[in-house]
Structures are given as structure tokens and as C-alpha cells.
Amino acid sequence: MTSVTRRQWLSLLATVPMARAVHGEGHQTSQTPPPRPPTPLDLKDFQPKSMLKVAETKVPRARFPVIDFHTHLGFRAGVSGVPQGEATQFRAPAAELLKVMDQVNLQTMVNLTGGVGKGLEQSIAQYQTAHPKRFVTFTEPRYAQINDANYAREQAADIERAHGAGARGLKVLKTLGLYLREKVTSGPLLAVDDKRFDQMWEACAGKKMPVAIHVSDPEAFFLPTDRFNERFEELNNHPDWSFHGRDFPSNRALLEARNRMFARHPKTTFVALHVGHNAEDLAYVSECLDKFPNMHVEIGARIGELGRQPRTARRFFDRYQDRILFGTDAVPHGTQTPQQIFGTQLYQIYFRFLETEDEYFDYAPAPVPPQGRWQIYGIGLPEGILRKVYNENAARLIGMQG
């Protein structure tokens, strides 16, 4: 006789009709109702509520004053991803920003997209000059003149003029590497280590202006937007964010070109934004930090990646505590990216990630996780590291110590 497990026995019973109940001379048969068919549900409408009962720590204010090294208070219009002209539009008045800043213990906002020329002067006057130490302004490269014979020298001179006007650093968008082409908006893409920018990097070194640089996006953005891509929803909602196919370089090719540029300009201080453009591979970012002493990183819009690898992230913060800067990539108003909307909710999530060991919480103030369907865990940094990440490291680079 074959032995039967309890699970098999119960399964067998489920296939046998229920016993018929006999009443008088007749009898009736009662059967279990058929199973309810599955309910159709679009993935975009799926908003599960976690059943975990875990600690929830409120962190309304940062433990120490914060410098947000990565914010965007202005922008220039562009063509095919390349900013054009000097006209700059501003997203919020200083008074509106200061109200939130005071609530969350945000000492300083670094406006990376301060613009060029007249737009830069307006940015500096509206924020930095009007509210010293509360706002810091970076300038940007001019790209439209890339084919001028004297471009390299003129761009370096423009950096010096911007520094004289009050700019404290240079911001390089992923325009370089992914959008800027030989004929500005057409032709082959320019490489990140194109030598036409060498004099610009050296000018930044001469003026002790850090370069905040963004040259790539998560690796998933370079893969097919299919059922295997963990960022499917994000890329499906923003198909123009995908760099798969066409003539775009790979994520690794962009990073290697960046590394060649870092090596060629050892006196220039570079801040590789978004955790070195590779938050999913902290081992690789660590290799780069070890190889390039002039490289720093900041964490803007990447706690969704750091927070799902909390033990690895904590070791990373321990090891590079002097070279990690706090940033959010915050944009006031009008953005489709919830993980970047400036406000108290955004900062409180960052503070919770850095200061607590809470488990399984949202990395963005949104009903659906915007970058991927996962939750994050806090890394509970000690006070000494918190002070450095929140303030001291950025203060050292932009000359705000003391």
C-alpha cells in the first residue's frame, strides 16, 4: 500500500463530492461553490499595503544642520537635451524655500543649475546674494559654441568669469555623453573625456571650484524595456528616459570615459552625482573612489537603491565617510518624479534613512514607488559620520567651513 502524506490526503478529499444528506424518502446533493475567478487588475493600479508591524520613527528635522548639495532652482530651455542661451527660469522664490528649510534644519541649498551669463547673475542675486550661506550657486558649461576654434580657451575663461560673479562650482548635466553631439544636436555624440573640455576642468581646479557631474543613469535604462527590466514601470511611463539602442554608449562605456577624464585632471575635484552614477554596484563605485582621490559622491535620488542594500550601504558610508555628500536632486514644483519634489516629506524620508534602523519603508512620498516596487531600510549612521555627510564634507568643498 502506497503511503499518503497529509497534504495529499486533504487534496484527495477535496475531489470527493460532499456526502448526500437524506431527508425522508428523497435526498439532495450539496456541493462546494466554484472558486471565484481572478480579478483583473492593471499593474499601475496595484498599491499593496504592507502587513509588517515594524517600528516607525518620525524624523521631522535632521539631527545636524544640512547642506543639500544637489538641488535645481532654475533651468534653461534646450533643444534635444542641450541647454541653449542664457535665459533662466526659476522654480520658486527664496522665501518659499526658506520656510521649508527652517522646518527641516536645512542650512543651505546648492543650486547646481545656476545657468550662465545673465541668467547666472540673476540666480546669484536672487538666492545667494540676497540670502548668504542659505544658498550657493553653480554655473554650467556653454555647449552651443562647441565647434568654435577657440572654444576650449573661451569655455575656461567663462568659468573664471562665473567664479568672479560668485559661482562656487560647475554643474555638468548628462548632456555631456548622452545628448551633446558634434553639431550640437546632430552628428555623433561627444565623449565625456573629449579634450575640448580639458581647459575647463583645469580652470575649475585653479579656482577651487568642485565639478558636480552626472554622466549616466541606472544600468536598467540601457537595457530593453521588457518584462525582465525591474524599472519597467518607470521607463514605460517615461520612454524618453531609455538609452537602449540607437547610438547611445553603454553605461559602462560612459563610466570608463569619465574615469579617463578623472585620471587626466587629478587636481580637479569631481563630485560624481547619484552615488557615482552606479548606486546598484557599490563595489565598482568603491573601486573608482580608491583609484581616484579627486572623486567624491553624493546620494541624490538614490536612497531607493542604497536602502535596499542596507548592510552594504552602511559599510560603504563607514569606509568613505569623508567623501560622501548629502543631496536630494530636489526640484520645487512641476516635476513628474515624486522622489525629487522639494518639501518636508522628501527630507524626512532621507533623514529617516540616514538616522534610523527602521525597516521596510517608502523611499518617496508617492502611492506607488516611482523607481521600482521595493521598500528600503535605514542604515542608522553614528553622529560622527552624520555630521560629515550632512554638512562637513560639502562645506569643505564649497568653502563654507567655519
pLDDT recorded at residue 72: 97
Residue 13 included in any domain:
no
Q: Would you state the pLDDT for residue 25?
A: 45
Residue 384 sits in a domain whose CATH number is 3.20.20.140
Q: What is the pLDDT of residues 262-295, one digit of tens each?
A: 999 999 999 999 999 999 999 999 999 999 999 9
The whole-model pTM stands at 0.90
Q: Report the pLDDT value the prediction gives residue 22, as an integer from 0 to 100.
A: 40
Q: What is the pLDDT of residue 402?
A: 64
- pLDDT for 335 equals 72
Domain membership flag for residue 373? yes
Residue 228 CA: distances (Å) to CA of 220, 231, 233:
10, 9, 11
Tell me which residues of the chain have a pLDDT lower than 50. 1-2, 6, 9-10, 12-26
So what's the pLDDT on residue 401? 80
Q: Quickly count helices (H) and strands (E) in the chain.
A: 15, 14
Q: How far apart are CA 204 and CA 197, in angstroms?
A: 11
Question: DSSP string spanning 350-364?
Answer: HHHHHH----SB-SS
Starting at the edge strand found earlier in the chain, the sheet holding 270-272 runs 170-172, 211-213, 270-272, 295-298, 324-325
Q: Is residue 238 part of a domain?
A: yes
In the block, residue with C-alpha cell 534635444: 80
Question: 141 in a domain, yes or no?
Answer: yes
Count how many domains the chain has.
1
Q: Is residue 45 part of a domain?
A: no
Sort strands 78-79 and 89-90 into parallel, antiparallel or unpaired: unpaired
Picking from 83, 169, 97, the residue whose alpha carbon sits closest to that of residue 134 is 97
Q: Which residue is listed with cell 577657440?
A: 150
The pLDDT, as a whole number, for residue 29 is: 53
Identity of the amino acid at 138: F
Residue 351 lies in domain: 60-398
The reported pLDDT for the residue numbered 336 is: 79
Q: Is residue 290 part of a domain?
A: yes
| 362 in a structural domain | yes
Q: Is residue 96 part of a domain?
A: yes
Contact between 155 and 199 (Cβ < 8 Å): yes
